[in-house]
A and B are shown apart, each in its own frame.
Chain A
Amino acid sequence: MYTEKVMEHFKHPRHLKEMKDPDAVGTVGNPTCGDMMHVYIKVGKKDGKEIIEDISVQTFGCVAAISTSDVVCDLAKGKTMEDAKKISKEDIIKELGTLPHQKIHCSVLAQDGLNKAIEKYENKNK
Chain B
Amino acid sequence: MKCYLDNGATTKVDQEVVKAMLPYMEETYGNASSLHKFGQDAKATLEESRETIAKAIKAQPEEIIFTSGGTESDNLALKGIAFANKDKGRHIITTKIEHHAVTKTCKFLENDGFKVTYLDVDKEGFIDLDQLKKAITKETILVSVIHANNEVGTIQDIEKIGKICKDHNIYFHTDAVQSFTKTIIDVEKQNITLASLSAHKIHGPKGIGALYIKKGTKIKKIMDGGSQENKLRAGTENIPGIVGFAKAVEIANQENFKNMQMLRDYFIEKVEKEIPETNLNGSKKQRLCNNINITFKYIEGEALLIKLDDKGIAVSTGSACSSKELRPSHVLIAMGIPPSVAHGSIRFTLSKYTTKEELDYTINYLKEAVKELRDMSPLWRK
Contact = CB atoms under 8 A, between A and B. Distances in A.
A105 B377 CA distance: 18
B378 A38 contact: yes
A7 B307 CA distance: 10
B338 to A, nearest CB: 9
Grouping DSSP codes into helix (H, G, I), strand (E, B) and loop, the A interface class, with mixed when no group exceeds half, is mixed
Classify chain B's interface size. Answer: 20 to 34
A22 to B, nearest CB: 13
Given A10-B306, A34-B340, A34-B343, A62 B324 contact: no
Interface stretch (B7-15, B76-84, B208-216, B314-322): B314-322
A27 to B, nearest CB: 8
B379 A62 contact: no
B66 interface: no
A62 B377 contact: no
Contacts of B324: 102
Interface string A24-64: 00010000111111100000000000000000001111110
Contact of A62 (B321, B328, B375): B321
Residue from B298, B321, B339 whose CB has the most chain A CB atoms within 10 Å: B321
B1 interface: no
B378 A63 contact: no
Contact of B303 (A38, A61, A105): A61
B124 interface: no
A59 B321 contact: no
A105 B324 CA distance: 13
Contact of A33 (B303, B306, B321, B377): B321
Residue from B310, B322, B324, B376 whose CB has the most chain A CB atoms within 10 Å: B376
Given A10-B303, A34-B339, A60 B377 contact: yes
B300 A102 contact: no
B302 interface: yes
Grouping DSSP codes into helix (H, G, I), strand (E, B) and loop, the B interface class, with mixed when no group exceeds half, is loop
Contacts of B377: 58-60
Contacts of A7: 306
Interface string B247-275: 00000000000000000000000000000
B158 interface: no
Contacts of A63: 302-303, 306
A60 B378 contact: yes
A34 B320 contact: yes
Given A33-B326, A34-B343, A58 B306 contact: no
A35 B376 contact: no
Interface string B199-229: 0000000000000000000000000000000
Nearest to A27: B378
Interface of B: 298-300, 302-303, 306-307, 310, 319-322, 324, 326-328, 339-340, 343, 375-379
Question: When A and B form their complex, which 7 residue pairs have the shortest distance between CB atoms, in order from nearest?
Answer: A62-B321, A58-B378, A33-B320, A16-B376, A38-B378, A62-B302, A33-B326
Given A62-B321, A66-B376, A102-B326, 7 more contacts: A10-B303, A11-B310, A32-B320, A33-B320, A35-B321, A62-B319, A63-B302
17 contacts: A7-B306, A11-B307, A16-B375, A17-B376, A27-B378, A35-B343, A38-B378, A58-B376, A59-B377, A59-B378, A60-B298, A60-B300, A60-B377, A63-B303, A66-B303, A102-B324, A102-B326
